[in-house]
Amino acid sequence: MEMSVLHEDLGRSIAAESEFPDFSAAAVNSTWFNSYHAYADHLGFLRGLQQQYPSQSEIVTSGSSLQGNAITGIHLFGSAGKGVKPAIVIHGTVHAREWIGTMVVEYFAYNLLTNYASNSEIKAFVDKYDFYFFPVVNPDGFIYTQTTDRMWRKNRQTTSGSSCLGHDINRNWNFQWSATGGASTDPCADDFKGTSAGDTPEFKALSSWMAGIKKKQGLKLFIDYHAYSQLFMTPYGYSCSAVAPKNTELQSLAKGAVAAIKAQSGFDYKYGPICSTIYKATGSSVDYVNDVIGSEYTFTSELRDTGRYGFVLPAAQIVPSGQEAYAGFRYLLLNMR
């Protein structure tokens, strides 16, 4: 049997990752992406970025978490003003321990805003679509990973009759929630689906907000970023035999996105439907947004790496992760019909 060491000292890796630098919202710049950050500083980063570009952005919330934390994002818009163009919605960190997702979503927002005035391609993107970036859609769990348990995944919801806490928000969306084999009914499991479909406050907030955006503007694209495994996936998660509408086009776009990632960084990503590419997953945001809300294009991506560092990805890989993920995102923006 071949064996390999993933972390020489996982505790040391976590400690190094959690040495958060001091941050001032008045000085938002690219050094933000040199390290991971405390949750409060992520909110400060979004506010500071918005204040630097007040005519092209605003802070938005898509409701509140179980513990009352606002699910905070930043809305980018171009020359036509806000709320009048098809929407692109990007989620990160629904699973609390996936810190690289937070940074990548923020990298997208930073890249688009800081280059809008000087890059004609980016200007065209932002003038064509409204972008809504939500770096942390599970704030309660994310805070818990920074204070108590770095490997925590779920929210912090209680379950009657169990001492175990947390529901997996990304197994709780009210579409094919009852399908078997794609989530756990054990409250102590990391992928506990909840006691009923859509019983997490985060699902209720996110789905209601997104339905409103779809009705007002139309929803062009939804992507949910995760870690890790280096995958770029399409619906469905609930079934390996069901075929999503527009599947041929979705697979073509996913194939192009992973080729763009490869060309940018040399890293290999696999693509395909969720169920056959990674595993069966019921009650996921991607399946719900695709079929219930009706996003025109819907994807999910597992970012770096393939297991060498796993969830505790070194900070030195934040910028490369952002660059390659943006290459895939850019491909979609250029090639969606």
User: Of the candidates 195, 200, 173, which has an alpha carbon nearest to the alpha carbon of residue 184?
Assistant: 195
CA dist 34 and 248 (Å) reads: 38
Q: Which of 17, 98, 202, 302 is flagged as catalytic?
A: 302
Neighbours of 246 (CB within 10 A): 17
Secondary structure (3-state) at 258: helix
CA dist 40 and 304 (Å) reads: 25
CA dist 25 and 275 (Å) reads: 41
Q: What is the DSSP string of 293-305?
A: I--SEEEEEEES-
CA dist 332 and 336 (Å) reads: 6
CA dist 135 and 181 (Å) reads: 29
Kindly calculate the radius of gyration of the chain based on its CA atoms and give it in whole angstroms: 19
Q: What is the dihedral of CA 74, 78, 82, 86, to 10 degrees?
A: -90
The residues, ordered by sequence, that sit 6+ positions from 333 with a Cβ below 8 Å of its Cβ are 125, 129
302 given a catalytic annotation: yes
**Annotated catalytic sites, by residue?**
302
